Amino acid sequence: MPSVCFYFEVHQPYRLKPYGALQVGSDHEYFDEKLNAEVMRKVANKCYLPANESMLRLIDRTDGRFRISYAVTGVAIEQMKLYAPEVLDSFVRLAETGAVEFVAETYYHSLAALYDKDEYREQIDLELKLIKNEFGQTPRVFRNTEFIYNDEIGQFISDLGFEAMLIEGADDILDWRSPNFVYTVAGRETRLLTKNFKLSDDIAFRFSNQAWGEFPLTADKFAGWVHGHSGAGDVINLFMDYETFGEHQWKETGIFDFLEHLPELLFTHPDWDILTPSQVIDRYPALGELPFHRTVSWADEARDISAWRGNAMQQRALAEIYALGADIRRRNNSHLLALWRRLQTSDHFYYMATKSASDAEVHDYFSPYEGPYDAFIHYMNVMKDLNLSVLAPAQKQLRL
């Protein structure tokens, strides 16, 4: 009996304000509070609130047979509390249905996995505590920032005790394999659920693309494609940004109607059901190991980590922020630690990417700045001020 598994990513970074070189030394407010509030409220109204309403209604209407999973980053939850508390309330209501699973993440949506494993573990712990506090769940399943994955990360997560990870179903990794089965981390029992990127992206990226041969995509047509996999897989993993609903794909495109009708149409085939990630690994056995010969993510054409560290600017910025780790942890100052961690959020580095063509369009879409150079300049100016005004004076005090 095959299944569909829905997973939605919910994340909002603390965006830096445009921070010029002349501000260094005198301005220690780094984040663009006005913009961050604006974005949170905008996305709440266009996506989070109406989409959560839809999800609640669907769960109710199907007696909990429609099931979904989320990762909600710590920084997103913090900003919901600050700027749109009703959004968090509605996620709590979703948690109470019993049909919604919360998947673990790094609290700061960072790249710590690639730079600082101690920090990585701490950010995962923070997120676990947050999910327990807010939603009353203890996640069994983990998904890393932007689906960044390699064998080493898989093994690290496995050693932390997670039972499964959600990852990108990259073509060159799967090779002859189908994404529609459960695999395991190389050398471990921990399961891997691989995103069916074709079907996921049909909704997330192509839904409103009029140049696409399958436009317009109806729920009926999509359910038919899913049903076409009967007998050829255990689980179709549909993983996407939650903002697909109402933000990336506007309400006017009919995305909410699509969502409204999809579950019942999926259920018209008696063999198919909808499960959360934990239910998937409880039901389906793993087919075998899935070894990775490179680091994969779900970003850009290349589906690698070049979106965050593809150029010299990104590499410099990342090297600088992680070089501060030992110093900052030693100070044991919770405010400073949180500040340092907010500066680790992967979006900062994503904005600095110098990609071409369609990748650049996606980066531009998300970036609050005029381009990668401004993103780098603002970030490095903030780093300079952090070093000069926050870290250096504190050091002097210690010596006294």
- The least distance separating other proteins from the CB of residue 373, rounded to whole angstroms, comes to 6
CB-based contact 153:116 (threshold 8 Å): no
Choose between 82 and 312: whose C-beta lies nearer to other proteins: 312
Choose between 68 and 383: whose C-beta lies nearer to other proteins: 383
Task: Tell me which stretch binds other proteins (CB under 8 A): 87-95, 220-228, 281-289, 371-379.
Answer: 371-379
Distance CA 17, CA 32 (A): 4
Residues 6+ apart with CB under 8 A from 47: 242, 243, 245, 246, 247
- What would the two tokens of residue 32 be? 């663009």
CB-based contact 62:264 (threshold 8 Å): yes
Using DSSP's 3-state secondary structure scheme, residue 63 falls into coil
20 binds other proteins (CB under 8 A): yes
Q: How many other C-beta atoms are found inside a 10 Å radius of the C-beta of residue 256?
A: 19
Task: Tell me which stretch binds other proteins (CB under 8 A): 4-12, 32-40, 48-56, 366-374.
Answer: 366-374
Distance CA 303, CA 298 (A): 5
- Reference 104, options 154, 155, 139, 136; nearest CA is 139
Among 12, 52, 249, 381, binds other proteins (CB under 8 A): 381
- The least distance separating other proteins from the CB of residue 33, rounded to whole angstroms, comes to 21
CB-based contact 237:179 (threshold 8 Å): yes
Residues with active-site annotation? 146
387 binds other proteins (CB under 8 A): no
370 binds other proteins (CB under 8 A): yes
Q: In this structure, what DSSP letter does residue 48 have?
A: I
373 binds other proteins (CB under 8 A): yes
374 binds other proteins (CB under 8 A): yes
- Give the footprint of other proteins on residues 335-354 (CB under 8 A): 354
- Give the footprint of other proteins on residues 285-314 (CB under 8 A): 311-313
Task: Tell me which stretch binds other proteins (CB under 8 A): 14-22, 68-76, 269-277, 295-303.
Answer: 14-22
For binding to other proteins (CB under 8 A), which residues are involved? 20-24, 311-313, 315-316, 354, 370-374, 376-377, 380-381
